[in-house]
Amino acid sequence: MIELDQMKATLGAYKQPLKEVGDSLELEAKTRKIEELSGLLESPGFWDNVERAQKSSRELNELKQTVEGYQKLQRQYEDIEALIEMGYEENDPEMIPEIQAELDEFTTTLDDLRLETLLSGPYDKENAIVTLHAGAGGTESCDWASMLYRMYQKYAQKKGYTVETLDYQDGDEAGIKAVTFQVNGTNAYGHLKSEHGVHRLVRLSPFNANNKRQTSFVSCDVMPDIEDDLDVEINEKDLRIDTYHSSGAGGQHINKTSSAIRITHLPTGIVVQCQNERSQFQNKDKAMQMLKAKLYLLKQQEAEDKTSGIRGEVRGIDFGSQIRSYVLQPYTMVKDTRTAVEVGNAQSVLDGNLDPFINGYLKWLATGGTAKGEEM
């Protein structure tokens, strides 16, 4: 049957990519690590250090998911081969839809796994800390910041990640002036690092009496949540520490005490803020952790020239600096200026459908990352 011939050819074309993914995953090394960690977790006294044990347990689960996921793909490949041969033998047209469904599932899962192998950066597996700042556009940009905040919350929900708001500043009239939030989940930074840069919105303004077309900008900064004790020296004299009342929705302590912390590192101008924790001391600890991570990344950039791979180029929050444009008027389209990936259904993107852009960015990085996009 022609359908079986086509499916056999499609499956055969994935044999080498399947092997290449297996090679890139270094399955033998991961299997040895699984055995090592399993032995450690069962050894006497290992759980006396709960933090260390929990970290090892998470690593073990991640390794098992990777190895078992690939093994499942291998079995699925063999099962589809057997189904195709059975289809030839029985010459039963009713088997075609079942085989096609299995083949579609296999190719989709393999493509997803191939993208996961691109998450090989030193911090890709970490949680992500994202900061949005409203830029040129006034109230419009503050509203745009709130729309982006919602978009990332929706994306996190789809991926099974959790979101923790660390700092929140309301706009003067509407929306959000600035917000910092942490996205928790495996590979959160690896996925969200694609979002670093300026995001541009074009729409009919709901804040303009004449309903004119308006362009707004918001900057997005993404960094990994590095919990390790980083080798970063900070001189207390280089810091300006300010306290202020917490703001934004949620939390019984909000607006009652000056528990929020803002730390400015004077030599670099780096500013970090935290108001999520219940005490000033906890907020200061989290802010210092964020500052250390930023300084560490800055040190890495200067020493190894990895600016584009770790944090991305710092650009102005205005015309000509955007990495992605979201057009809602006179037509709807979202287009990434780096990868040329575009989606016509802008609302689906604003509802958290970021996979086309994130996957496109990972492929773009793997091929050298040269700009392709054009202005919209």
**For position 308, what pLDDT does the model report?**
46
Top pLDDT among 27 and 246 is at 27
Q: Looking at residues 211-216, what average pLDDT do you find?
A: 85
What are the pLDDT digits (tens) for 130-144? 999 999 778 899 999
Cis amide linkage into residue 356, ω under 30° from 0: no
Question: Which residue ranges form the domains of the chain, and what is each CATH number?
Answer: 2-116 (1.20.58.410), 128-221+308-366 (3.30.70.1660), 236-304 (3.30.160.20)
**For position 251, what pLDDT does the model report?**
43
**For position 173, what pLDDT does the model report?**
86
Q: Looking at residues 226-248, what average pLDDT do you find?
A: 80
**For position 248, what pLDDT does the model report?**
54
User: How sure is the predictor about 372, in pLDDT bands with cuts at 50, 70 and 90?
Assistant: low
What are the pLDDT digits (tens) for 152-207? 999 999 999 999 999 998 888 889 999 999 999 989 999 999 999 999 999 988 88
**For position 257, what pLDDT does the model report?**
55
**For position 119, what pLDDT does the model report?**
87
pTM of the model: 0.75
% residues pLDDT > 70 (the chain): 88
Closest CA to 200 of 220, 178, 176, 170: 220
Helix pair angle (50-90, 15-24), 10° resolution: 170
- Residues 366, 270, 305, CA angle at the centre, nearest 5°? 35
**For position 153, what pLDDT does the model report?**
97
Closest CA to 139 of 171, 169, 179, 168: 171
Look over the chain and give the mean of its residue pLDDT values, rounded to a whole number.
86
What are the pLDDT digits (tens) for 49-105? 988 898 899 889 989 988 999 999 999 999 999 999 999 998 888 899 999 999 999
**For position 253, what pLDDT does the model report?**
37
